[in-house]
């Protein structure tokens, strides 16, 4: 009993304190289990029950590339980016999300990571719908889209654009800069367009381009990514958006406006210094204290 309780508590702790990338992973896993359990129940009952459950999960959690079908089930543009029907598909996407999402979140914060995930997935879905509407060879082979691949590629491409010189070990052996890996994946998707390999290459391309675009916007204080992040902050933490409430305790008293602005400026300068170091030498070159500082900043982002 204690073991089960500790396991559940550990899951709760990881969900609450693990950052946005962990929350997104939990949501994907929970939805996958939900779909799997329902489909198993359908198979056990067989007959009409199996068909009904299969049609239901397909209708709710997939994106139709046929424009006529999409109009009738538009929610698939959102639900499909959190759903997976295959275990290996889920594992691959979640591993990618864990490593690239964790690194990007530490530099841009939780809200911006969530925005890139959602809009990257939407962009990927729209690319597939448009492609199947324009190109004759694709329009004759209407398919359904499911999975977080577009969202994950948006995050990965955003990370590669933001920290191009970050070094990684491909397959734990080959040392290379992340920008070259991102370019390699993009080329593979371009080559794979039009093939019948079961991969939504247009969704990958759409997610990649959206991730790069949003990270470009992140460089502007009035850019789209910062505006969207500000809206989310106001929705989730309305009091923090009011200047009068942006005070913290120091020595038992609230900070004055001058002290708060100075503290904010110092934190931003420290963040910029660390990001510059990442750009030049990679994430692994950071000290433990620098990584902790970035993580704390991302929790406030």
- State the pLDDT at residue 104: 92
- Measure the CA dihedral 280/282/287/290, to 10°: 80
Pairing state between β 144-145 and 167-170: unpaired
Show Cβ contacts of residue 214 under 8 Å, excluding neighbours closer than 6 positions. Answer: 112, 115, 116, 119, 120, 154, 158, 224, 225
Residue 296, CA distances (Å) to 19, 25, 35, 56 in order: 10, 20, 35, 42
pLDDT at 272 over 90: no
Annotate 248-290 with DSSP letters as a single string: -EETTEEPPHHHHHHHHHHHHHHHHHHHHHHHHH-GGGS-HHH
- For every residue of 118-146, DSSP letters joined together read HHHHHHHHHHHHHHHHH-HHHHTS--EE-
Which of the residue ranges 155-164, 192-201, 212-221 has the most confident prediction, judged by mean pLDDT?
155-164
Q: Let me know if residue 159 belongs to a domain.
A: yes
More confident residue, 122 or 247: 122
Which tens digits make up the pLDDT trace of 29-44? 999 999 999 999 988 9
Half-sphere exposure for 283 (CA within 13 Å, toward CB): 23
Q: Which residue has the higher pLDDT, 199 or 126?
A: 126
Residue in this structure with the two tokens 């759903």, named with its chain if needed: 83
Q: What's the rounded mean pLDDT across residues 97-120?
A: 92
Q: At what angle do helices 87-108 and 149-162 cross, to 10 degrees?
A: 30
**How far apart are the C-alpha atoms of 85 and 53, rounded to whole Å?**
13
Q: What is residue 243's predicted lDDT score, i.e. its pLDDT?
A: 41
In this structure, are 217 and 261 located in the same domain? no
Q: SS3 of 194, please?
A: coil
Residue 154 forms part of a structural domain: yes
Among 279, 243, 283, 282, smallest CA distance to 264 is for: 243
Tell me if 238 is assigned to some domain.
Answer: no
Asked whether residue 233 is assigned to any structural domain, the reply reads no
What pLDDT does residue 158 have?
95
The rounded distance, in Å, linking the Cα atoms of 113 and 101 is 7
Domain count, the chain: 2
Number of Cβ within a 10 Å radius of residue 203: 31
Same domain (yes/no): 146, 106: yes
* 181 and 266 part of one domain: no
CA distances from 294 to 19, 53, 105, 233, 282 (A): 12, 45, 9, 19, 14
Same domain assignment for residues 87 and 165: yes
Same domain, 291 and 152: no
Residue 245: predicted pLDDT: 43
Task: For residue 300, give the 3-state DSSP assignment.
Answer: coil
pLDDT at 12 over 50: yes
Query: Which of the pair, 93 or 166, is modelled with greater confidence?
Result: 93
Last residue of a domain, one of 158, 191, 223: 223
pTM attached to this predicted model: 0.76
Does one domain contain both 96 and 53? yes
- Are 82 and 151 members of one domain? yes
Asked if residue 213 and residue 85 are part of one domain, the reply reads: yes
Is 55 contained in some domain? yes
Please report whether residue 125 resides in a domain. Answer: yes
Higher-confidence position of 212 and 49: 212
Asked whether residue 8 is domain-assigned, the answer is no
Q: How many CB atoms lie within 10 A of CB 159?
A: 28
CB 295 within 8 A of CB 269: no
57, 166: one domain: yes
Give the structural domain span for 290.
Answer: 247-299
Residue 217 and residue 115 share a domain: yes
């Amino acid at each position: 009993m204690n073991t089960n309780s500790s396991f559940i508590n550990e899951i709760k702790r990881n969900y609450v304190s693990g950052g946005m990338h962990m929350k997104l992973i939990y949501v994907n896993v929970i939805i996958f289990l939900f779909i799997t359990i329902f489909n198993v129940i359908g198979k056990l009952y067989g007959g009409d029950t199996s068909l009904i459950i299969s049609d239901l999960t397909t209708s709710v959690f997939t994106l139709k590339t046929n424009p006529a079908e999409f109009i009738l089930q538009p929610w698939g543009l959102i639900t499909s980016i959190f759903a997976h029907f295959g275990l290996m598909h889920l594992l691959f996407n979640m591993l990618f999300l864990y490593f690239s999402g964790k690194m990007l979140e530490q530099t841009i914060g939780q809200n911006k990571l969530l925005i890139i995930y959602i809009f990257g997935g939407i962009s990927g879905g729209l690319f597939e719908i448009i492609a199947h509407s324009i190109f004759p060879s694709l329009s004759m082979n209407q398919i359904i889209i499911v999975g977080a691949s577009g969202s994950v590629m948006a995050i990965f491409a955003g990370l590669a654009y933001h920290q191009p010189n970050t070094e990684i070990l491909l397959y734990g052996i080959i040392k290379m800069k992340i920008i070259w890996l991102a370019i390699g994946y993009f080329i593979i998707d371009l080559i794979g367009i039009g093939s019948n390999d079961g991969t939504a290459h247009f969704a990958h391309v759409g997610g990649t381009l959206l991730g790069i675009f949003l990270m470009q916007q992140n460089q502007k204080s009035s850019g789209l990514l910062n505006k969207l992040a500000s809206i989310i902050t106001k929705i989730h933490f309305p009091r923090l958006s009011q200047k009068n409430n942006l005070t913290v305790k120091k020595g038992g008293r609230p900070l004055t406006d001058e002290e708060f602005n100075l503290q904010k400026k110092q934190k931003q300068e420290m963040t910029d210094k660390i990001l510059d170091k990442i750009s030049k030498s990679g994430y692994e070159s950071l000290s433990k204290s620098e990584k902790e500082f970035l993580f704390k900043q991302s929790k406030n982002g």
